[in-house]
Amino acid sequence: MTAWLAALYAIVAREALRFVHNRGRFLSALVRPLVWLVVFAAGFRAALGLSIIPPYQTYITYEVYIVPGLCGMIQLFNGMQSSLSLVYDQEMGSMRLLLTSPRPRWWLLFSKLMAGVAVSLLQVYAFLGIAALFGITVPALGYLYVFPALILSGLMLGALGLLISSTIKQLENFAGVMNFVIFPMFFLSSALYPLWKMAESSDLLRDICAVNPFTHAVELIRFSLYGSFNGWALLWVVTGTVAFFLLALVGYDPARGLMRRRG
């Protein structure tokens, strides 16, 4: 067990050092949601006319409503950023070296996921702190309740990034794939508007949003921030995490990769 924890610590520490030495990544992770929070929220609030947001049955501002969605945005971009580093590691050969270590492949990839989650937690709580400075707060205990929800949602989005990175062999192809995944997942979700509001426009779009895994990650965060439990969202997030991770394990199978190269 000590050797397993040593592998986990080494991988997390490596990712942490990468993050510390890349301050631009931290700043961009904060600027992006803050722009949505400060600049775009006023326009969206006026357009949507939201004053009461089920299921909380309490009057909240639109800025407070989208805070969980923006936390999910941070984790989504961080998951894609972590997968970008995996593609880079594949090109440099360090990923192959990592997978040939004595530890099981699933543990090494899980350690990569946990490293990404640790970085995203720091980014999310920094964002929540800055939002509080603007007067956009949630119940005090919500900051504690949301911690396990952020871990689970971070694992799911990180596993999705891991799966995507297993299918990409060249770094220059990754930017297009990121845009193809990030923006549909974000906009076709409940991050910016509730599903009942989407249904007023189109039942089809509402149904697409309802099966979007990112929607359930956002709802898990949203309910947790208000001290509530959403079992349906939890089931979706756990199922998505397991499915994405198992598919990523297949993609990172060295034997399969060798067969593809020979083919």
Q: 40, 32 in Cβ contact below 8 A?
A: no
**Sign of torsion, CA 164 30 65 225?**
positive
Interval 59-67 mean pLDDT = 74
| Per-residue model confidence (pLDDT) at position 214 | 95
**Which two structure tokens, joined as six digits, stand for 29?**
């992770």
The DSSP symbol for 52 reads B
Alpha helices in the chain (DSSP H): 2-21, 23-35, 41-48, 62-92, 94-99, 105-133, 142-167, 174-187, 195-199, 203-210, 213-225, 231-251, 254-262
**Sign of torsion, CA 119 125 126 128?**
positive
3-state secondary structure of 59: strand
- pLDDT 10s digits, 4-61: 777 777 777 777 777 766 666 667 767 778 877 777 766 665 555 555 444 444 446 7
| Per-residue model confidence (pLDDT) at position 16 | 73
68 or 64, greater pLDDT:
68
| Per-residue model confidence (pLDDT) at position 212 | 93
Residue 50 region, left (φ>0) first, then alpha (ψ -120 to 50), else beta? beta
| Per-residue model confidence (pLDDT) at position 101 | 66
CB-based burial label for 204 (10 Å; 0-12, 13-18, 19+): exposed
Tell me how far apart the 2 most distant CA atoms of the chain are, in Å: 61
| Per-residue model confidence (pLDDT) at position 1 | 57
Which residues have C-beta within 8 Å of that of residue 141, sequence separation ≥ 6?
227
5 or 100, greater pLDDT:
5
**Preceding omega of 55 cis (within 30 degrees of 0):** yes
> Residue ranges of the domains in the chain?
2-252
Averaged confidence pLDDT in the chain: 78
pLDDT at 71 exceeding the cut of 90: yes
Task: Go through 110-145 and write b for each residue having 16 or more CB atoms within 10 A of its CB, e for each that does not.
Answer: bbbbbbbbbbbbbbbbebbeebeeeebebeeebbeb
- pLDDT 10s digits, 208-259: 999 999 999 999 999 999 888 899 999 999 999 999 999 988 877 655 543 3
Interval 113-133 mean pLDDT = 89
Give dist(CA 89, CA 207) in Å, integer: 38
- pLDDT 10s digits, 148-206: 999 999 999 999 988 888 777 666 666 677 778 888 898 889 888 888 777 777 888 88
Interval 50-79 mean pLDDT = 72
| Per-residue model confidence (pLDDT) at position 262 | 36
| Per-residue model confidence (pLDDT) at position 196 | 78
| Per-residue model confidence (pLDDT) at position 146 | 94
